[in-house]
Amino acid sequence: LNDPVDYLLIWLDSWAHTLRLLSTGNVEMYAVVTYESLVRYHDSISNELTAMIQVSSMSNSRTPKFDNYRHRRLDLHEGNNPSKYLEPNKATIRLWKKCLQKVICNSLLQEINQHIFPQIGYYLEDNIEPHAIQIKENFGRVLFSPSIPPSTDLLDKL
């Protein structure tokens, strides 16, 4: 993988495949959370996930009871500062700059920034130069679950 377009296409395909699979209704329980929002809004997301598990385990007799849910933790690179993983490393910056120089890659990144990122909480502001992607505060939550399925619009754009 030397072409930055490949990385963008793989990223898009991963999201598309996962969300389409989840939207079929064949998966009973799921929660889609971005790593970035988990790092920035860890406590609120942990509380939301715990509440989802409690409600699901009480309301669905086919769902196994999670008696030890209080003992589960969301580990984020234990022993390290997890927010350091949000900053692009040198190789990523090099690839990002290479993308900006290629017309097709730059156009694809602009399209993603305009049409996909807003629906999953990411934003690059008006600057697509290499930097940490930000998460809008109102997206510091579970993005998708059985009760919050991905929109048809998002699935079509992916």
Mean pLDDT of 87-96: 88
Confidence class for position 71, pLDDT limits 50, 70, 90: very low
Q: Please determine, for residue 122, whether its predicted confidence score (pLDDT) is greater than 80.
A: yes
Q: Which residues pair with 122 in a beta bridge?
A: 135
Q: Pick from 62, 63, 45, 42: which is nearest to 54 by CA?
A: 63
Phi and psi at residue 134, in whole multiples of 5°? -90, 160
Mean pLDDT of the chain: 82
Percent of the chain with pLDDT over 90: 32
Distance in angstroms between the alpha carbons of the first and the last residue of the chain = 21
Report whether 109 contacts 8 (CB < 8 A). Answer: yes
What confidence score (pLDDT) does residue 69 get?
47
What confidence score (pLDDT) does residue 98 get?
92
What confidence score (pLDDT) does residue 73 get?
53
Confidence class for position 12, pLDDT limits 50, 70, 90: very high
Q: Please determine, for residue 95, whether its predicted confidence score (pLDDT) is greater than 70.
A: yes
pLDDT digits 0-9 by tens, 72-82: 455 555 566 77
